[in-house]
A and B are shown apart, each in its own frame.
Chain A
Amino acid sequence: MTHYAHSRKSPATWTAVAILLAMAILGTLWIPLYARSAPKLGPFPFFYWFQLIWVPLSAVLCRICYLLLRVRPDGPAKTGRRQLLCISTTSRSSSS
């Protein structure tokens, strides 16, 4: 028995995800945004600390998208493992 990641998400959710991911990708792709040395963060020129800061920032953006898109197989999850167990039991009985 196979479960499916239903795309029950609203268009608003998809739009939000698209914008967040586009930000994560374009943030360092648009070079003129950060190809400068000022303002410095301590000794680090802007070019370097901007990109280093984008690392955790893009992780946060991906994390938000993951939470937005997360699908629970059957409504709101109880404790995950227990729920998976009952799914596998029911699936076995229904497919036999």
Chain B
Amino acid sequence: MHIDNIPFLIVVTAFVLVTYIGFAAARWRPAEDPMRLSEWGLGGRRFGTFVSWFLVGGDIYTAYTFIAVPALIYATGAAGFYALSYTIMVFPIVFIFAPRLWSVARARGYVSPGEFVRGRHGSQGLGLAVAATGILATMPYIALQLVGIESVLTVMGIGSTSDNVFVRDLPLIIAFGVTSAYTYLAGLRALALIAFVKDALIYLTVIVAILYIPARLGGWGHVFDVASAHLKTVNPATGKRYGSLIVMPAGEWSYATLALGSALALFMYPHAATGVFAASRRDVIRRNAAMLPAYTLVLGLIALFGYLARAVPAVNADVKADGGNSQLSVPLLFEHMFPGWFAGIGYSAIIIGALVPAAVMSIAAANLFTRTIYRELVRPYATPAQETRVARLVSLLMKVGALAFALELNRTFSINLQLLGGIWIVQTFPAVVIGLYTRWFHRYALITGWAVAMTYGTVEAYRTSGGGQAHFGGSAAPVFGHVTYIAITALILNVAVSTLFTPLFRAAGVQDGYDETRPSDYLADPHPASIPRPRLADPATNLPASHAARHRAARTPARSPRSSHRSGPPH
């Protein structure tokens, strides 16, 4: 057997195994009614600490972790390490607000942040804005996964010989198609099961790599020396140094804002919110926030792979041969440092580690579309089965869209795709997270703030050049002399505009929206066996419950539509 076939065989075996699990998952913890959207899209909301941990961890550590971050560190040094800082501060942030979001979603049967916003602020427009932002921002994030898979396939020498785009990317399309098929059938269940396999592969690869590779390269001291020497040299393209081993004072501001902006953005993404909503109990979220840093540690170690790759001359030569595509640095590191069979395991870890989050993201975007756009605009009285059918279809469409996006994309710095998504998604922060605590903001003020910030963020990102691109080349731009992540600047603008316009709308007598949630909803902690069924038709009006609640509330606003439930203490 030719030696190059070994990694290929291992990758195919791993893929077949995962596919088998995916299809078998339809029978795991079978649902009473598989055509209910919370069954397909949230796995029946029955995931305890253990499964949620794998799922949330699984869908936030992605090709971003394996390909994009090490690529940035490979090319620019310490500046890319903000990703570690970001994943350190994200869990304390989630710890603060996610339990409230979980409770209100459970009490009201929401499956997406957009639905919560619609119910909380009594504004269909704001709900739509949040949903549309979520779908838009998810697209480049899925595309990033595809770029990650593709860089592995390129290093494996698969499919890169033909000039035809379709033939060249056929393996990618096949892998994506198969994943879409079992996602379509088994929904989130399939992905929760596969997340175990994925994590096992990732931990194995990372532990072996971190113990084995530095020893082969002459120790970490040598690795840092090589990296430092490279970063001090001047990049002929820009006339500046490549970077530095320690963040320079001039880079501190962008480092901090990139970290903070990414951390605020993460749980605004529909897929991360899905991980929160799918938890079985309120406690699970906080307990997981204390356990998920195990993934952060892995991210930190993988980030350092960028320096390891820099210390291997053969990797540098191959990256240069591919036109300086630093995305290839980690797969190339595996190729040159590992025996063939273990390189195969490493490749499998990256590929499956990108496919699973891509599928979770598409499910989440589908939930969001179905509940906030389809049910609100197209078919208000859709049955649960209709909803699930639409969600399945949209999950396919999301993948097709991202695929088309990724096939035609500039791939120099794929991390920029994630950062671009972050600029958009973080603009839903005021409506969602601030909305969890206060309804002081007027609904139209929130919409105005969102619109201004989205426009500003997109225009600023468009105007930023970098990485050989004239537009959308970077995600940080100077503001008052400080290079700042555009997401943060736009978020500040967003909150400022919302704050300014709220008293104006009130003064003009524009009516506030009706809040269908109750203070007690934010502390609700229902037992898993008694999941409320707000989507069941209300016997009194024969309408879906949330609609009925709104109608009834309009008649008797003082009385809670859920007065039969024991109400908790005001918070």
Contacts and interface: CB of A to CB of B under 8 A. Distances in A.
A71 B525 CA distance: 10
8 contacts: A2-B566, A4-B520, A28-B259, A47-B247, A58-B89, A59-B91, A84-B527, A87-B527
B210 to A, nearest CB: 11
Contact of A35 (B252, B282, B525): B252
B78 A47 contact: yes
Nearest to A61: B92
Interface string B80-94: 010011001101110
A62 B255 contact: no
Contacts of B89: 24-25, 27-29, 58
A16 interface: no
A21 B96 contact: yes
B9 interface: no
B526 interface: yes
Nearest to B307: A48
A76 interface: no
Given A6-B523, A7-B569, A36-B246, 16 more contacts: A1-B527, A1-B566, A2-B107, A2-B565, A4-B566, A5-B282, A24-B88, A25-B89, A35-B247, A42-B220, A45-B245, A66-B290, A70-B283, A73-B525, A88-B527, A95-B564
A88 B294 CA distance: 34
B438 interface: no
Contact of B568 (A6, A87, A91, A95): A6
B246 A62 contact: no
Interface of B: 78, 81, 84-85, 88-89, 91-93, 95-96, 99, 103, 107, 219-221, 223-224, 245-249, 252, 255-256, 259-260, 282-283, 286-287, 289-294, 296-297, 300, 304, 520, 523-527, 529-530, 532, 564-566, 568-569, 571
A7 B289 CA distance: 20
A29 B565 contact: no
Given A48-B304, A69-B286, A2 B526 contact: yes
Contacts of B569: 4, 6-7
A56 B525 contact: no
A35 B254 CA distance: 13
B392 to A, nearest CB: 30
Interface residues on A, range: 35 or more
Nearest to A66: B286
A36 B245 CA distance: 9
Nearest to A84: B527
Given A4-B520, A5-B103, A5-B525, A51 B84 contact: yes
Contact of B291 (A30, A52, A54, A59): A59
Given A24-B92, A28-B259, A31-B247, A58 B293 contact: yes
